Amino acid sequence: MILELGNVSINNYNIDNGELLAKPIVQIYGKFIVAIPGILLTATRNELIRLAIEHGVKNELVKSYSTAVWDNIEDSLFI
């Protein structure tokens, strides 16, 4: 989710699928700049899914997510 300064060129950047959409944080001299704050949650979700697939725990993630969503629905409906 972090890009080093210099890895993105504004001249060649594509707003539809640029690297900042997947890595909205830019590191410069040991500090971090959130380049696209509105995409942080989406980028985090995508990174979690990518890591789950990479580590072979996709099914566990799906089960946990589904359970959390269902529990939230039940709480909202006071079941």
Model confidence pLDDT, tens digit, residues 41-63: 999 999 999 999 999 999 999 99
Q: What is the pLDDT of residue 27?
A: 93
Task: Report how many domains make up the chain.
Answer: 2
Range(s) of the domain holding residue 6: 2-36
The whole-angstrom separation of Cα 56 and Cα 53 is 5
Q: What is the pLDDT of residue 67?
A: 96
45 and 32 part of one domain: no
54 and 72 part of one domain: yes
pLDDT above 70: residue 79 = no
The whole-angstrom separation of Cα 41 and Cα 71 is 21
53 and 73 part of one domain: yes
**What is the SS3 assignment for 28?**
strand
Cβ contact 52:58 at 8 Å: yes
